[in-house]
């Protein structure tokens, strides 16, 4: 049960490119002399260990808040388009945010959000990594659970895949763009003819076409980077047969 709930939470987080970020505004100027919760929309990517990656301006209220209190939460909402939203899934990740100069995190965010390249290098913008401490998943009525960081991630990691990811993604986009189109069109039923792969992790691949994103999950998690090629080839065969 825990494994199923954790997988549902991971799939939801990895499948979305935006979230509601909540932080605590500094107490300065507050009538009660206490911090206030503040939530707003942010673009987000996630690392292989499911740590959210953010790109924030130093002028943003969240940046000021995190400077004083690193505790944040991120709501990933999977209820879009449902007639009864409360029957749909949503997960809140709770953790601590900190600035990062990690080039791998920068690359993963910009692959997910290519338009951010225009301002990512500005001196008043910075990348942040959120170290997740636990998650609260609501998978629908009666399916509610708190998950620890360990339960959330489980065994969803593949040896060497983070290092191999840039090469795999570039190879697929440059040499096998037709395969990426098949993934989106045949396997996911998504419209559009300009889909690109933006990432690969142990449990699936991330795709983007303009402002739309899609997630194609693997039948079984990869355990090592060397397994990626055969899985991607098998998915092409399945798509062509569809």
CATH of domain 161-241: 3.20.180.10
207 bridge partner residues: 197, 214
Q: Whole-angstrom Cα distance, residue 198 to residue 180?
A: 10
Structure tokens at 23: 């932080």
pTM of the model: 0.93
CATH 3.20.180.10 location in the chain: 161-241
Q: Whole-angstrom Cα distance, residue 227 to residue 238?
A: 17
Q: Whole-angstrom Cα distance, residue 41 to residue 199?
A: 22
CATH 2.30.110.10 location in the chain: 2-153
Nearest CA among 97, 128, 93, 92 for reference residue 24: 97
Per-residue pLDDT of the chain (242 residues; tens, 9 = 90+): 678 899 999 999 999 999 999 999 987 655 566 788 999 999 999 999 999 999 999 999 999 999 999 999 999 999 998 899 988 999 999 999 999 999 999 999 999 999 999 999 999 999 999 999 999 999 887 789 999 999 998 766 789 999 999 999 999 999 999 999 999 999 999 999 999 999 999 999 999 999 999 999 999 999 999 999 999 999 999 999 98
2-153, what's its fold?
Answer: Pnp Oxidase; Chain A (2.30.110)
């Amino acid at each position: 049960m825990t494994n199923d709930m954790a997988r549902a939470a991971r799939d939801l987080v990895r499948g979305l490119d935006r979230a509601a970020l909540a932080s605590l505004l500094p107490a300065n100027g507050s009538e009660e002399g206490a911090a206030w919760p503040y939530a707003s929309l942010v673009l987000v990517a996630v690392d292989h260990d499911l740590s959210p990656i953010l790109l924030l301006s130093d002028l943003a209220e969240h940046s000021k808040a995190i400077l004083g209190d690193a505790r944040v939460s991120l709501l990933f909402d999977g209820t879009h388009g449902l007639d009864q939203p409360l029957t749909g899934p949503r997960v809140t990740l709770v953790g601590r945010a900190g600035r990062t100069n990690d080039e791998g995190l920068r690359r993963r965010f910009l692959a997910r959000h290519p338009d951010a390249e225009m301002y990512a290098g500005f001196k008043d913008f910075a990348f942040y990594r959120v170290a997740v401490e636990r998650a609260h998943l609501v998978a629908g009525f009666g399916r509610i659970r708190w998950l620890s960081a360990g339960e959330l991630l489980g065994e969803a990691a593949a040896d060497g895949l983070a290092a191999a990811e840039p090469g795999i993604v570039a190879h697929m986009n440059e040499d096998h763009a037709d395969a990426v189109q098949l993934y989106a069109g045949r396997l996911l039923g998504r419209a559009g003819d300009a889909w690109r792969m933006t990432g690969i992790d142990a449990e699936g691949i991330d795709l983007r076409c303009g402002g739309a994103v899609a997630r194609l999950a693997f039948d079984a998690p990869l355990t090592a980077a060397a397994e990626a090629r055969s899985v991607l080839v098998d998915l092409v065969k399945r798509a062509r047969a569809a």
